[in-house]
Amino acid sequence: MAETEKPIATRLRGMELIDTPLLNKGSAFTTEERAALGLDGLLPPTVEDLDTQVRRVGEAYKGKTTDLERHIYLRALQDTSETLFYKFLIDHVTDLMPMVYTPVVGLGCQQFSEIYRRPRGLFVSYPLRDRIDAILEGAGDLDVKVIVVTDGERILGLGDQGAGGMGIPIGKLSLYTACGGIAPENTLPILLDVGTNNKERLEDPLYIGWRHERIAGAEYEAFVDAFVQAVKRKWPNVLLQFEDFAQSHATLFLERYRDQLCMFNDDVQGTAAVVVGTAFSAVKVAGGSIADQRVVVVGAGSAGCGIAEQLIKAAVEEGADPAEARSRFYMIDREGLVLDDMQGLWPFQQKLAQKTSAVAAWPAGEKPGRFSLAEVVKIVKPTMLIGVSGQPGIFTEAVISQMAETAARPIIFPLSNPTSRCEALPSDVLAWTDGRAVIGTGSPFAPVEYGGKTYPIAQTNNSYIFPGLGLGVLALGIPRVSDGMFMATSRALAETAPASDDVPRLLPSLADIRKVSRHIAIAVGKAAVKEGLIPAIGDDEITARIDAAMWQPAYRPIVAA
């Protein structure tokens, strides 16, 4: 019997059943189900199928006139009928993903308190730090297999949003289901509410979070540790994804917990994986290899350094000398080029700092001993420019034009999101490079018309990576997430890129995202076998287990328990 044909037994009746999003079918409850489950009279008499409901939802969606209204409508639909929500999302994923996640989720986080309607997920608040186990029990009988957790401190490029950061775990887990086929009843969004330093939030009379400045230092770390230990007790085999933590905490918690349970940090590892996958495609267009690139990364936080480290690993795998590969990366932060004589560098930044001796012969910059982005681009002559700075417009015409003077096909990735934080607009980058740039962005952009050609813009978004990674982990019971698994996701993503002609297409269409996630999940499984993380099984068995695990949005029969 197919999974979608297996009956679900429930003790819920009448409005309690209708008010349960995971079970609600609305007008699609059959005549027999209505009689057995106390639904007669609560629903209109016509029995409809899922496709008819999707058409109705689509008509209502068309009536929304702003992105925020569309975001609110989709959230309400998810809170009403999850199967219908995911069927609608999957059928129209290219149009709806920007509304469910980036860029519109940023606005949803900023206005989370104003648009809050119905509880979803768990808020683990610092004042209740002695009751974390009891709070996790609030998830009830859900078979939780994937958790996305944030503390709301560094939401996209928008900074501290406090409790509003809950929009990120909700959105991410929606993509786990829509893109990766993880059943919605296996997902749980969690917000660690440790206060906020956002004055606007604290003064908002509608703010739903804990009205207190952020807890920091040892108290904060102890709270996060108490949460992780409680998760291990409650769900020892869960996949725990850390999301949008401040850079000072992201790498710290990754190193602390990666060997304790199956976890990863999406900002450090997921972002790096999708950028490297897109870079593999980009160098095929531009010529050469990863090992040949001279790379400037603007934004030396956890995401930027994670990208650099993963690209260095890729270069070494291609035969580059590790020290030589590392020397070809130039990290730019607030003070300009990151140098080893700078004070206050984090350990992950120190490993990527250029040696002061290596730049001693450089022409003097405007600031003694310091070098701006424009100066670095002029001296280094980079072939690849990556932005994760959250500083809109920092890739100026002067910077891009300078790069284009020496790079025949400059690879330019303005990755900050939401769109308002993008380092440069793709239309400008193409104009400034006479159409020669190979572009990837963090937020979605419409194709650009230039010089009589239409250039599709690759959205270098983590949604290409983490759903497939999660699918592979859950389908095969992989106990840990390794660096090798992430490199496998990058290479698998590049393999799915469509063939390029004179107009580069770096990533597959979002319409094919479930196929991409399946391909990535298989690659993850093979990497786990190679590393000895799971018992040796054949490729056919890996594929069969992944196919069997992929959830499809379809109504299952419901019977009275």
Among 439, 463, 487, which residue terminates a domain? Answer: 463
In a domain, 42, yes or no: no
* Same domain flag for 152 and 173: yes
How far, in Å, CA of 263 to CA of 77, rounded? 30
Q: Is 211 helix (H, G, I), strand (E, B) or coil?
A: coil
Would you state the pLDDT for residue 126? 98
Dihedral angle computed from the Cα positions of residues 479, 482, 487 and 490, in that order, rounded to the nearest 10 degrees: 50
pLDDT tens string 161-211: 999 999 999 999 999 999 999 999 999 999 999 999 999 999 999 999 999
Q: Active site includes 101?
A: yes
Q: How confident is the model over 24-47, as a mean pLDDT?
A: 98
**pLDDT for residue 217 is more than 90:** yes
Q: How confident is the model over 279-294, as a mean pLDDT?
A: 94
Would you state the pLDDT for residue 499? 67
Tokens of 188: 């749980």
**pLDDT for residue 5 is more than 90:** no
pLDDT tens string 103-113: 999 999 999 99
Q: Which of 426, 372, 425, 366 lies closest to 402 in space, CA to CA? A: 372
Lowest mean pLDDT across 18-27, 272-281, 357-366, 424-433:
357-366
Q: Is 254 helix (H, G, I), strand (E, B) or coil?
A: helix
Per the structure, the count of domains in the chain is: 2
- Beta-strand relationship, 336-337 and 146-150: unpaired
Using alpha carbons only, how large is the chain's radius of gyration in Å?
24
In a domain, 43, yes or no: no
* Same domain flag for 314 and 367: yes
**pLDDT for residue 367 is more than 90:** no
Nearby residues of 558 by Cβ (< 8 Å), 6 or more positions away? 7, 8, 9, 10, 17, 23, 25, 29, 33, 37
* Same domain flag for 160 and 197: yes
pLDDT tens string 398-450: 999 999 999 999 999 999 988 899 999 999 999 999 999 999 999 889 999 99
Matching residue, tokens 């990364």: 297
| DSSP string of 194-205, one letter each residue | -----HHHHT-T
* Same domain flag for 254 and 282: no
Q: How confident is the model over 220-234, as a mean pLDDT?
A: 98
* Same domain flag for 252 and 285: no
Cα 360 to chain centroid distance, Å, stands at 39
Q: How confident is the model over 62-70, as a mean pLDDT?
A: 97
In a domain, 545, yes or no: no
Would you state the pLDDT for residue 32? 97
Is residue 457 within 8 Å of 439, Cβ to Cβ?
yes
In a domain, 383, yes or no: yes
* Same domain flag for 315 and 179: no
Q: Where residue 503 falls among pLDDT bands split at 50, 70, 90?
A: confident
Task: Identify the active-site residue in 61, 101, 330, 464.
Answer: 101
- Check residue 270 and report its DSSP letter: I
Q: Where residue 4 falls among pLDDT bands split at 50, 70, 90?
A: confident
In a domain, 532, yes or no: no
Among 233, 260, 287, which residue terminates a domain? Answer: 260
Is residue 350 within 8 Å of 340, Cβ to Cβ?
yes
- Check residue 433 and report its DSSP letter: T
* Same domain flag for 187 and 278: no
* Same domain flag for 337 and 424: yes
In a domain, 359, yes or no: yes
In terms of residue numbers, what domain contains 327? Answer: 269-463
Would you state the pLDDT for residue 372? 96
Q: Which of 75, 79, 73 lies closest to 60 in space, CA to CA? A: 73
* Same domain flag for 224 and 311: no
Would you state the pLDDT for residue 417? 87
- State the binding site: 154, 243-244, 267, 417, 461
Among 429, 463, 497, which residue terminates a domain? Answer: 463
Would you state the pLDDT for residue 159? 94
pLDDT tens string 112-125: 999 999 999 999 99
Q: Where residue 501 falls among pLDDT bands split at 50, 70, 90?
A: low
In a domain, 188, yes or no: yes
Between the CA of residue 289 and those of 317, 318, 417, 520, what are the distances in Å? Answer: 11, 8, 27, 22
Would you state the pLDDT for residue 3? 73
Q: Is 559 helix (H, G, I), strand (E, B) or coil?
A: strand
Q: HSE on the CB side for 507, CA within 13 Å?
A: 30
Is residue 96 within 8 Å of 89, Cβ to Cβ?
yes
Query: Between these two residues, 140 and 255, which has the higher pLDDT value?
Result: 255
Entry pTM: 0.94
- Check residue 269 and report its DSSP letter: I
Q: Which of 425, 352, 356, 423 lies closest to 393 in space, CA to CA? A: 423
Lowest mean pLDDT across 262-266, 356-360, 498-502, 522-526:
498-502
* Same domain flag for 256 and 292: no
* Same domain flag for 226 and 313: no
Task: Identify the active-site residue in 172, 313, 378, 526.
Answer: 172
How far, in Å, CA of 440 to CA of 272, rounded? 13
**pLDDT for residue 85 is more than 70:** yes
Q: Where residue 246 falls among pLDDT bands split at 50, 70, 90?
A: very high
Q: Which CATH number fits the domain that encloses residue 177? A: 3.40.50.10380
Q: How many residues does the chain have?
A: 561
**pLDDT for residue 1 is more than 70:** no
Task: Round the average pLDDT of the chain to a whole number and report it.
Answer: 96
Q: Which CATH number fits the domain that encloses residue 432? A: 3.40.50.720
Is residue 268 within 8 Å of 303, Cβ to Cβ?
yes
Q: Where residue 157 falls among pLDDT bands split at 50, 70, 90?
A: confident
Is residue 398 within 8 Å of 391, Cβ to Cβ?
no
- State the binding site for a divalent metal cation: 243-244, 267
Q: Active site includes 86?
A: no
Please, which contacts does 57-62 make with residues 24 or more away whose CB atoms are closer than 8 Å?
57/84, 57/88, 58/88, 58/92, 61/88
In a domain, 505, yes or no: no
Q: What backbone phi and psi angles, to 5 degrees, belong to 515?
A: -65, -40
* Same domain flag for 324 and 253: no
- State the binding site for (S)-malate: 154, 417, 461
Q: How confident is the model over 497-509, as a mean pLDDT?
A: 83
